[in-house]
């Protein structure tokens, strides 16, 4: 693997897709026949929704090696994402002709048949008699909000909500912090997990700015008071006892409401002020309470797609502290990104501040985004 390709892969895994794409292209200029470069660049294109470009790379790999079932399967997968189910069926059959035991291709083929109305999905039901874990938060209020497109992207998208639910179910935290909740969708997902865990409480901090005059909740009706709407959602879901809302600045609110009691935080979701200074202030406040082994989730970690630089800069800072934190930044279906952090060290510095170069980069990027709008 060439240094250019290796660096491109590292950048792609961190979510720096634009810089990674340039390096993948450079690596292919150095060696146009490099299958690793084509494969990784195709993955990058899929992550950013550029399906036609991904198709081109996967076709190159398939032409180069007709027996490359991994490239052929990914090709079929992208075709389905593009809504080309008939072509995806043929592509999945091609994979199965080379590898009849390719279970992922078999599942994809069946799912495409269902999409086309040619078959009904027949799946064996898993035995959950020895497990209390569910795949998704089962609550009618959550479902109602997920079916209303007006809630997104101000709320996290449903796939992210499902991940928050799963993480809380697995981590089983007793105390959860949340910064930024809009009308409480992410709060609901985590509260439902705590309810099923039969333990735990959330402290959710938000400015609760007025909603648009025409905002309509499928649960609470027309209301411009975000805090009132969030409370109504929790109450209707039967989860109000799991959450305490705090209106105001999150970083100072956490200190004022929790540090005096020496509370220990097990899990935190930071999705408030995404600017550099605001994001770092929330992080410092959470860090004062986060126990070793505690988990923090950051939303909007891919600046090229979400337009915010703060969460990504925080992830970069954490990568420079491997003895204190483990952090991973990965793509989400809507492209905004999610960072998952675990504290592995004990006491650390709470005086973190964004660097001058990072602040300058934020200023310049803000100017670019303003011009785009």
- Cβ neighbours of 260 (radius 10 Å): 8
CA distance 351 to 321: 14
Is 70 exceeded by the pLDDT of residue 14? no
Specify the pLDDT at position 368: 53
- Per DSSP bridges, beta strands 325-330 and 338-343 are antiparallel
- Per DSSP bridges, beta strands 175-179 and 265-270 are parallel
Specify the pLDDT at position 137: 66
Residue, of 110 and 118, whose pLDDT is higher: 110
Is 80 exceeded by the pLDDT of residue 122? no
CA distance 345 to 358: 25
Specify the pLDDT at position 261: 52
CA 163 to chain centre: 8
Region 217-237: what's the mean pLDDT?
Answer: 93
Region 198-206: what's the mean pLDDT?
Answer: 94
CA distance 258 to 338: 26
Residue, of 360 and 189, whose pLDDT is higher: 189
> pLDDT over 70 for what percent of the chain?
85
Specify the pLDDT at position 131: 44
pLDDT, one tens digit per residue, over 304-356 is 888 888 999 999 888 888 888 999 988 888 889 999 999 987 555 556 677 76
| Whole-Å CA distances, 231 to 209, 235, 361 | 14, 6, 38
CA distance 207 to 225: 11
Q: Six-digit token pair at 50?
A: 């550029």
Q: Six-digit token pair at 62?
A: 């398939």
Cα maximum dimension of the chain? 65
Is 60 exceeded by the pLDDT of residue 29? yes
pLDDT confidence of 246, banded at 50, 70, 90?
A: very high
pLDDT, one tens digit per residue, over 77-98 is 889 888 888 898 888 888 888 8
From the list 111, 128, 129, the residue with the least C-alpha distance to 120 is 111
Is 80 exceeded by the pLDDT of residue 207? yes
Q: Which domains does the chain have, with CATH numbers?
A: 3-115 (1.25.40.10), 140-372 (3.40.50.150)
Region 23-33: what's the mean pLDDT?
Answer: 90
Least confidently predicted of 99-113, 117-131, 159-173, 301-315: 117-131
CA distance 291 to 347: 9
Region 258-264: what's the mean pLDDT?
Answer: 66
Least confidently predicted of 250-254, 257-261, 340-344: 257-261
Specify the pLDDT at position 304: 83
CB neighbours of 301 closer than 8 A, spacing ≥ 6? 15, 311, 312, 315, 329, 336, 337, 338, 339
Is 60 exceeded by the pLDDT of residue 26? yes
Note whether 212 and 150 are within 8 A (CB).
no
pLDDT, one tens digit per residue, over 142-193 is 999 998 888 888 899 999 999 999 999 999 999 999 999 999 999 999 999 9
pTM reported for the whole predicted model = 0.62
């Amino acid at each position: 693997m060439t240094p250019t390709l290796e660096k491109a892969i590292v950048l792609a895994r961190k979510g720096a897709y634009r810089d990674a794409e340039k390096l993948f292209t450079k690596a292919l200029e150095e060696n146009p026949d490099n299958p690793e470069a084509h494969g990784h660049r195709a993955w990058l294109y899929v992550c950013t929704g550029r399906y036609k470009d991904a198709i081109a790379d996967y076709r190159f790999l398939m032409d180069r090696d007709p027996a490359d079932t991994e490239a052929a399967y990914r090709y079929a997968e992208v075709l389905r994402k593009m809504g080309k189910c008939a072509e995806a069926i043929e592509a999945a059959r091609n994979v199965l002709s080379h590898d009849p035991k390719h279970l992922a291709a078999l599942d994809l083929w069946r799912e495409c048949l269902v999409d086309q109305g040619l078959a009904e999905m027949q799946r064996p039901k898993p035995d959950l008699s020895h497990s209390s874990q569910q795949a998704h938060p089962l609550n009618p209020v959550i479902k109602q909000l997920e079916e209303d497109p007006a809630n997104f992207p101000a709320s996290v998208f449903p796939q992210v909500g499902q991940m928050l639910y799963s993480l809380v179910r697995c981590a089983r935290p007793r105390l959860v912090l949340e910064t930024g909740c809009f009308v409480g969708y992410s709060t609901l997902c985590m509260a439902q997990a705590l309810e099923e865990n039969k333990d735990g409480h959330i402290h959710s901090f938000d400015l609760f700015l007025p909603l648009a005059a025409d905002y309509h909740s499928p649960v609470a009706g027309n209301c411009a008071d975000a805090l009132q709407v969030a409370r109504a959602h929790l109450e209707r879901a039967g989860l109000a006892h799991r959450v305490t809302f705090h209106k105001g600045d999150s970083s100072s609110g956490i200190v004022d409401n929790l540090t005096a009691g020496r509370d220990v935080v097990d899990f935190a979701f930071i999705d408030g002020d995404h600017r550099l200074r605001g994001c770092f202030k929330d992080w410092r406040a959470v860090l004062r309470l986060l126990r070793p082994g505690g988990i923090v989730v950051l939303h909007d970690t891919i600046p090229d797609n979400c337009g915010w630089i703060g969460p990504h800069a925080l992830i970069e800072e954490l990568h420079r502290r491997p003895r204190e934190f483990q952090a991973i930044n990965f793509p989400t279906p809507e492209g905004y990104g999610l960072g998952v952090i675990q504290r592995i060290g004990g006491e650390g510095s709470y005086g973190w501040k964004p660097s001058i170069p990072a602040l300058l980069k934020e200023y310049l990027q803000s100017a670019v985004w303003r011009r785009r709008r």
